[in-house]
Structure 1
Amino acid sequence: MRTTSGEIVETLPRSFQVHSKICMELMRILDDIMRIFPDIEDARPKCSSGIESLVYLNNSIQKAKLLLQHCSECSKLYLAVTGDTVLLRFQKAKKSLEQSLIPIQSMVPVVLAVERLVHLWALESAERDAFLANEATKKWTSSNQVLVEIACTRSSDQLFSAKKAYHVLYKKSIEEDVAHHTTGDYRKLLLPLVSSHRYEGDEVNLTIAKAEAKILHEKISKKAYNDDDLIRILATRSKAQVNATLNHYKDAFGKDINKDLKEDPKDEFLSLLRSTVKCLTRPEKYFAKIVRLSINKHGTDEGALTRVVATRAEIDLKIVADEYQRRDSVPLDRAIVKDTTGDYEKMLLALLGHNDA
């Protein structure tokens, strides 16, 4: 069967494009000549000049065949010297390098985590929150929930102190940075959250709770998740009032608000709204989930684990640990021992209250 130029292209490496074009052109000419050569020979003239021309043509064909064979051999030699052999050696060297980097790659995050844990723990709580908030704004992504954590799990006085520390450390307000680094619905939610100064008392107004539960349900039913009233309720009401409103929401409409906010599990703004609700109403449950996600079969998220332990150690880490065990049926200290090593493990356990570990 006659070889086509298209088939030759498919068998030649892309790096030999120019060389392959020469070979293809030569093959095409040779193919054409070989195809018509029998016809020429049948009709060849009986004169000596015609015979000489055919002999010359035949010699040219033979030379073309030899040249094509030479090109093929050159291609193989070129591949052996600079192509496949070099690529194979490179792949072997790369694999060897990657294998040698595995222990280093696993060690570096742990070393950095130890340094970060020491750094965070050495800071006063207000400075620590200011540092984390500044880091969150500079590296902000729509999935970053640190600003919500700080705004919604701290008391009004703690948040106010963090904002003062932020101003001293970074010569600007946290509101300025949030406004600068966030956009759209995220800015619309986060700005009032970090600006808020909530009432900290236990008193609630049940009439307001019922009215605002209805507002929340109406807005969520219409998927108006960025509605001004919805954000106002979550950003300004006291935590006791928010709890009363959401309890009435569940009683009146038969479903927890966070389940209604899971309309689209992949929507990161809805995820931020759910985190806002959980941080305001059940912070220990929120932090237990962060810890659970940071310790999983895919590897440890040292950043999240370090942040939770460092920021909650003096507040409610024992409650977070109890919630973790209730949900996962494994003590948090055992999970940490299983998932961490060395000084990092020892420091985490010490902050958990296991100083003899």
Structure 2
Amino acid sequence: MEDISKSDKYIYILRRRKRMATIVSPQHFSPVEDAENIKKACQGWGTDEKAIISILGHRNLFQRKLIRQAYQEIYHEDLLHQLKSELSGDFERAICLWVLDPPERDAHLANLALQKPVPDCKVLVEIACMRSPEDLLATRRAYRCLYKRSLEEDLASRTTGDIRKLLVATASAYKYHGEEIDETLAHSEAAILHDEILGKAVDHEETIRVISTRSSVQLCAILNRYKDIYGRSITKDILSHPSNEYLSALRAAIRCIKNPNRYYAKVLRNAINTVGTDEDALTRVIVTRAEKDLKKITELYHKRNNESLDQAIARETSRDYKAFLLALLGHGGI
């Protein structure tokens, strides 16, 4: 009975993801034909970007894996290498991220975030706090395979102090992923967080322990109990401190855990409203969520910004990059 229950739950999750995904893919397709058509699009005097978008912009994860495999078998070349040599700019970066398997993609995003002059801790927090235990474990394995170092090793070498403790702890965790909640524990640990944050503690050892070890549902219970007891959200209490890198990452972690869709909607809003548009953030959210919950994220975006995400992308981006993002949002035929 337990196995049947787990199977039913898995099927429910897959169906729910399909309802919340924006990507539109055909039920029947030929990976060999797709691989051959991509090759044709890359031959001659110029690249046929529209043809590439019409294929890869409308294929799900399983289909993209088969296309990449077929391309390797037919042409003895990695599809990613071909795309990188033919495309450029934001479009190239977006479509190559899309072709990567999710663990490789997250490993790549984490490495890019760590290579910046000041590591982009919010990207690292997203990966550590929004992935399932199995997905995060797969990301760590992919990172080690790609870069010949562990993710935890690079996090520790590129950061210091409490931010290092938070990132290493959350990235290396393998949390319980069930639905059970301990209300007594939620009450006691809400008090611990309150005392440490409002008590202006020298370090946040207990806060980091709670955030990095408790399951998502248990953390939501803790955060809800915090607001019930003290009349304010924990993020507002964190704002009472002078801003620093660690507290900014801690607030991001809490928002990721508490309401992931709202968090992503805000990332999109900031990416689009910033001077010049933050294409890296825009690409990251659309590519990583198109097959999961981007439909819900776009609904929240529309509600909070009085325009659709499609309209904002059409206004703020251009050419092939715009066409590809819109394809991932469900535009265009298959």
* Map of 1:21 onto structure 2: none
CA contact (8 A) 1:142 1:269 kept: no
- Normalising by structure 1, report the TM-score: 0.67
**Residues 86-101 of structure 1 aligned to structure 2 (within 5 Å):** none
Distance 1:265 1:305 in 2: 29
Residue 228 (structure 1) aligned to one of 189, 194, 205: 205
What letter matches 2:212 in structure 1?
A
- Alpha-carbon distance between aligned partners in 2 of 1:297 and 1:201, rounded to the nearest angstrom: 38
1:176 and 2:159 matched: no
What does residue 302 of structure 1 align with? 279
1:130-145 alignment, distance < 5 Å: 130-139=107-116, 141=118, 144-145=121-122
Distance of 2:241 and 2:205 partners within structure 1: 21
Does the 8 Å contact 2:264/2:285 carry over to 1? yes
Tell me the equivalent position of 1:126: 103
AA matched with 2:128: A
Matched, 1:253 2:241: no
> Deviation of residue 202 (structure 1)?
0.7
Secondary structure of the structure 2 residue equivalent to 1:145 = helix
Letter in 1 for 2:227: K
Superposed counterparts of 1:76-91, under 5 Å: none
Mapping of residues 7-26 of structure 1, within 5 Å:
none
Q: Which amino acid aligns with 2:162?
A: D
Name the structure 2 match of 1:160: 137
1:317 to 294, 312, 320: 294
**Contact 1:143-1:272 at 8 Å conserved across structures:** no
Q: Using the TM superposition, give the Cα deviation of residue 342 of structure 1 relative to its aligned residue in structure 2, in angstroms.
A: 0.9
Moved more, 232-241 or 169-178: 169-178
Larger Rg: 1
Q: Is the 8 A contact 2:113 2:120 kept in 1?
A: no
Q: Which stretch shows the higher mean deviation, 328-337 or 257-266?
A: 257-266
| Gapped regions of structure 1 (runs ≥ 5) | 1-109
Alpha-carbon offset, residue 142 of structure 1:
5.6
Matched, 1:263 2:243: no
CA distance 1:210–1:301, change in 2 (3 Å): same
| Equivalent position of 1:217 in the other structure | 194
Q: Give the drift of 1:225.
A: 7.2
Matches within 5 A, 1:177-192: 177-192=154-169
CA offsets, 1:40-98, max 9 Å, x none? xxxxxxxxxxxxxxxxxxxxxxxxxxxxxxxxxxxxxxxxxxxxxxxxxxxxxxxxxxx
Partner residue of 1:279?
256
User: Per-residue CA shift, 1:154-191, capped at 9, x if unaligned?
Assistant: 11111011111111111121111111111111101111
Q: Give the count of matched residue pairs.
A: 248
Quote how far apart the aligned CAs of 1:268 are. 2.6
2:319 corresponds to which of 316, 319, 342: 342
- From the superposition, tell whether residues 136 and 252 of structure 1 become closer, same or farther in structure 2 (CA, over 3 Å): same
Q: 1:304 to 1:293 in 2, by over 3 A?
A: same
* Matching residue of 2:174: 197
SS at match of 2:232: coil
| Partner SS for 2:121 | coil
- Given that 2:272 and 2:312 are in contact with CA atoms closer than 8 Å, whether structure 1 keeps it comes out as yes
Give the distance between the partners of 1:299 and 1:164, measured in 2 at CA. 35
Q: Quote the offset at 1:354 in angstroms.
A: 1.6
Instruction: In structure 2, give the amino acid aligned to 1:230.
Output: T
- Measure the CA separation in 2 of the matches of 1:131 and 1:317: 21
Q: Is this contact kept in 2: 1:143–1:268, CA < 8 A?
A: no
Identity %: 48
Of the structure 1 ranges 149-158 and 110-119, higher mean CA displacement relative to structure 2 is found in 110-119
Offset of residue 150 of structure 1: 0.3
1:284-324 per-position Cα deviation (integer Å, ceiling 9, x unaligned): 11111111011016221111111111111111111111111
1:328 pairs with 2:305: yes
1:144: how far off? 3.3
Q: Deviations over 1:236-262 (max 9, x none)?
A: 100000000000000000001111111
Q: Which has the higher contact order (CA 8 A, sep 6+)?
A: 2
In structure 2, what is the Cα distance between the partners aligned to 1:147 and 1:225?
A: 24
Unaligned runs of 5+ in 2: 1-86
Q: 1:146 to 1:260 in 2, by over 3 A?
A: same
Is the contact between residue 126 and residue 165 of structure 1 (CA under 8 Å) also seen in structure 2? yes
Calculate the aligned-residue CA RMSD, in Å. Answer: 1.8
Q: TM-score, normalised by structure 2?
A: 0.71
Deviates more, 1:200-209 or 1:258-267: 258-267
Task: Please say if residues 225 and 270 of structure 1, whose CA atoms lie closer than 8 Å, have aligned partners that are also in contact.
Answer: no
